[in-house]
Amino acid sequence: MGESNRNIVKRITDYVEDHLEDDLRLDKIAEELHYSKFYLARIFAGETGCTIYKYIQGRRLTLAAGKLVETEKAIVEIAYEAHYGSQQAFTLAFEQLYLCTPQEYRKRGSFYPVQPELGIQNAQNGFLYVYKGAVGSLFAGHIRAACRKEGAAA
């Protein structure tokens, strides 16, 4: 009998978390975990409702949001560290997730992880995928609304 989908998702997220600073291509993840990229993509999306690419992008943008608030690094440097080829591409992706520009987010001075690390918890009738550190399903919506308000007030 093969490995459970839950274990495969855990192995994927563990690998992603350990290599967020590296070039994370689906082919490389599949090679390291000894599965086809199509199988991994299907299992991950089917179990989590999110593609591996979107998970990686969200995690990198969340780490970048932390750096915006916690460091004085130039935004372009943070963009390159998050694997974006330009500050413009980074700003567009950041704005889609946080609904404000990196500059506006930095001015706010508060870090809110919109895409925390994915974890697995046992439930009474199986298991649940949860975001570590998230405070319920309205968490991201609350942060986005706060960001929008501050952007409108600026």
**Per-residue pLDDT tens digits for 90-129:** 999 999 999 999 999 999 999 988 877 776 655 444 444 5
Strand ranges inside 12-139, DSSP E: 118-123, 126-131
Distance CA 154, CA 20 (A): 33
Distance CA 101, CA 28 (A): 31
Q: Locate tokens 């399903």: which residue?
A: 137
pLDDT tens per residue, range 49-65: 889 999 999 999 999 99
pTM beyond 0.75, yes or no: yes
Please give the distance of CA 30 from its chain centroid, rounded to a whole number: 19
